[in-house]
């Protein structure tokens, strides 16, 4: 569906005397440095095909935008560029990172944004740009910057949420209580891998924008892209650090399990000793040899029971002091 479409002149949105879905007519109204920004959300092949005809979009890029599930990338065509970025948002209840996608077609006098998924709504970016005439005066490059800035801000939010969960895992692993953290550690590492698949491929397009090596992107927009690239680098470093922390937490969790198993074996051994020694006494006393003085002694049976109790209590005290029980 078409979310919004508008014509911008010298950084200001101007009214038009035609239907904003009449793209051919809308483009014919452009003069000078004017440009059109068309926003689409999960369009059908027919809807995006109409836009492609009006703005001369490359069919391969159109196919990628319709099918979605693309890797972040920047592709240059004869008179336009095609940028794909991944949107991320975090579902804390499930420790899950959900993904969406934004595809951007940019030419000298147009920008077409195609959004898939629930995240990365661009109405806030459009409102921000319309309130910043100086930024929007950079033309279509300003829209590309706004999209990248919105997406990377989402990455930072996801990284912050993951950091909280990783701290919770560390606290749980090193607590005195017995916990089962391996499943959650695996889940978080899987979600971090999802974030990495979105973050790392985007570094190269932003580097090219900062260097001013992308035709059609205004040189004046380089400082804005530099700021976005710096934020992306911070996210990448944060994600790497979180992944390393989870690996260390998993190793510590395994070591903790090994220590707990050793303690359990000591307790089992101590418990067995408490039973084995009285059994030994009972076994010897119950052999009933003829030439054993205590067999015909009236206090022989109480003596055996006393020895069992005394040795059991003595062993219990020794094991308790040594921490085996």
108: helix, coil or strand? coil
In whole angstroms, give the CA distance from residue 197 to residue 263. 42
Residues 6+ apart with CB under 8 A from 219: 212
- Give yes or no for a contact between 234 and 156, defined as CB atoms under 8 angstroms apart: yes
- Give yes or no for a contact between 14 and 33, defined as CB atoms under 8 angstroms apart: no
Looking at the domain that runs over 2-256, which CATH code has it been given?
Answer: 3.30.460.20
Residue 221 pLDDT more than 70? yes
Q: Which of 66-70, 121-125, 264-268 has the highest mean pLDDT?
A: 66-70
Q: What confidence tens digit (pLDDT) does each residue in 278-322 have?
A: 777 677 666 555 656 555 666 766 777 787 788 778 877 876 776
- Give yes or no for a contact between 143 and 109, defined as CB atoms under 8 angstroms apart: no
- Give yes or no for a contact between 5 and 20, defined as CB atoms under 8 angstroms apart: yes
Q: What confidence tens digit (pLDDT) does each residue in 92-114 have?
A: 888 889 999 999 999 988 999 99
Q: What confidence tens digit (pLDDT) does each residue in 225-240 have?
A: 999 999 999 999 999 9
Domain spans, the chain: 2-256, 257-322
In whole angstroms, give the CA distance from residue 319 to residue 325. 6
When pLDDT is averaged across residues 206-229 and rounded to a whole number, the result is 89
- Give yes or no for a contact between 195 and 152, defined as CB atoms under 8 angstroms apart: no
Mean pLDDT of the chain: 84
Residues 6+ apart with CB under 8 A from 57: 51, 80, 105, 112
97: helix, coil or strand? strand
Which position has the token pair 């006494």?
A: 281
Q: Which fold has domain 257-322?
A: Methane Monooxygenase Hydroxylase; Chain G, domain 1 (1.20.58)
Whole-model pTM: value is 0.77
Q: Is 309 exposed, middle or buried (0-12, 13-18, 19+ CB in 10 A)?
A: exposed
Among 38-52, 172-186, 199-213, 254-268, which stretch is predicted with the lowest mean pLDDT?
Answer: 254-268
Helix (H) or strand (E) holding 6: strand 2-9
């Amino acid at each position: 569906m078409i979310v919004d479409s508008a014509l911008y002149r010298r950084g200001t949105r101007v009214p038009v005397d035609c239907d904003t879905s009449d793209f051919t007519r809308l483009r014919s109204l452009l003069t000078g440095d004017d440009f059109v920004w068309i926003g689409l959300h999960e369009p059908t092949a027919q809807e995006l095909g109409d836009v492609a005809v009006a703005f001369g979009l490359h069919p391969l890029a159109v196919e990628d935008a319709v099918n979605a599930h693309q890797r972040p990338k920047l592709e240059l065509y004869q008179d336009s560029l095609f940028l794909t970025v991944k949107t991320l948002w975090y579902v804390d209840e499930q420790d899950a990172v959900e993904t969406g996608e934004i595809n951007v077609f940019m030419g000298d006098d147009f920008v077409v944004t195609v959004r898939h998924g629930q995240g990365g709504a661009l109405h806030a970016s459009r409102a921000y740009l319309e309130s910043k005439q100086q930024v929007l005066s950079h033309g279509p490059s300003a829209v590309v910057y706004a999209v990248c800035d919105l997406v990377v801000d989402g990455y930072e939010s996801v990284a912050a949420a993951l950091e909280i969960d990783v701290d919770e895992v560390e606290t749980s692993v090193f607590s005195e209580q017995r916990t089962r953290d391996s499943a959650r550690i695996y889940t978080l590492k899987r979600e971090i891998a999802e974030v990495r698949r979105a973050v790392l491929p985007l570094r190269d397009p932003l580097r090219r924008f900062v260097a001013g090596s992308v035709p059609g992107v205004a040189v004046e927009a380089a400082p804005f892209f530099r700021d976005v690239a710096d934020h992306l680098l911070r996210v990448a470093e944060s994600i790497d650090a979180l992944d390393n922390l989870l690996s260390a937490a998993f190793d510590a969790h395994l070591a903790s399990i090994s220590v707990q198993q050793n303690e359990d074996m000591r307790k089992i051994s101590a418990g067995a000793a408490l039973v084995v020694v009285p059994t030994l006494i009972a076994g010897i006393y119950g052999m009933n040899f003829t030439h054993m003085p205590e067999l015909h002694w009236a206090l022989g049976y109480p003596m055996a029971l006393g020895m069992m109790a005394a040795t059991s209590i003595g062993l219990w005290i020794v094991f308790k002091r040594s921490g085996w029980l």
